[in-house]
Amino acid sequence: MASGREIKTKIKSTQNMRKVTRALEMVSASKIRKAQDMMKASRPYARSMRKVIAHVAQASTDFSHPFLAERETVKRVGYLVITTDRGLCGGLNSNLFRRLLPAIREWQGKGVEVDVIAIGQKAIQFFRRLKGVNLIGSASHLGEKPKLESLVGVIKVALDAYTDGKLDRVFLAHNDFVNTMTQKPAVHALLPLPVVAEEMAEAQSASTLPDYPVAGLKLEQRHDWDYIYEPDPATVLEHVLSRYIESVVYQGVLENLASEHAARMVAMKSASDNASKVIGELTLIYNKARQAAITQEISEIVGGAAAV
């Protein structure tokens, strides 16, 4: 059995650790409400953009935008992966990577090359170590109030690559915020839009993602009417579709931010409870060791007195 001094040192160090975990829990608890408010505030805009895109895509126009055309042969795909900058949030990031890796390996098994654009320090570190994947862009340290301006650069990398034919499919991977106790890793199609429509129609019919910004987007319908574009269809569609993609990615960042604070709060609460449990067990062991030492001293005193 360890000495009383060693046990007391372990109790002290565990108490210090519990102070840190409780502080982190309280910080995340104070920030999660703001993160949820930002996430919910951005949803109406994302849904309005969805309606605009659905109408524009259903119009019978002579101009065909690259985002609306599905390519028959897929040679290279890209993933926009959104993670946290910091750790101590349980299995939030690892669950996302575990969800994402089988999809990447499946594409690679078909002979398709995979490019990754990482948003968040954890994604950057992970994909720098992962072989067979090209990291073509990154962004990190977006802060507690992410700005769209910080994401425009990496989004443009993906859109330009798709427009130039370097990417045939683009996917978005992040954590969906369900509630404080549940965050689900999700991988959604981002481009081309017909693939998005098919995927989201299936999700809507299964009622799995009723609040996702592109849920219910249907592009397979065609009408005999068209819009009058000023100055021209190319300029208008380029602007609207780009804003649409930006809104979906920004919504994913906000969803991931709310998920981060919720996961960290739960993880730190669990760590604090475990620390309290360990402190209780160590205190019991310490008391037993102290009682044994006292009993031994009394026995030695009585034995010495009897010998005299």
- The residues annotated as belonging to the active site are 89
Query: What gap in Å lies between CA 247 and CA 151, rounded to an integer?
Result: 10
Query: What gap in Å lies between CA 138 and CA 22, rounded to an integer?
Result: 32
Written as one letter, the residue type at 252 is G
* DSSP at 224: S
Peptide bond into 233 cis (omega under 30): no
Query: What gap in Å lies between CA 112 and CA 160, rounded to an integer?
Result: 19
Report strand pairing: 182-191 vs 76-82: unpaired
Contact between 265 and 180 under an 8 Å Cβ cutoff? The reply is yes
Contact between 190 and 202 under an 8 Å Cβ cutoff? The reply is no
Cα dihedral 267, 180, 95, 246 sign:
negative
How many Å from the N-terminal Cα to the C-terminal Cα in the chain?
32
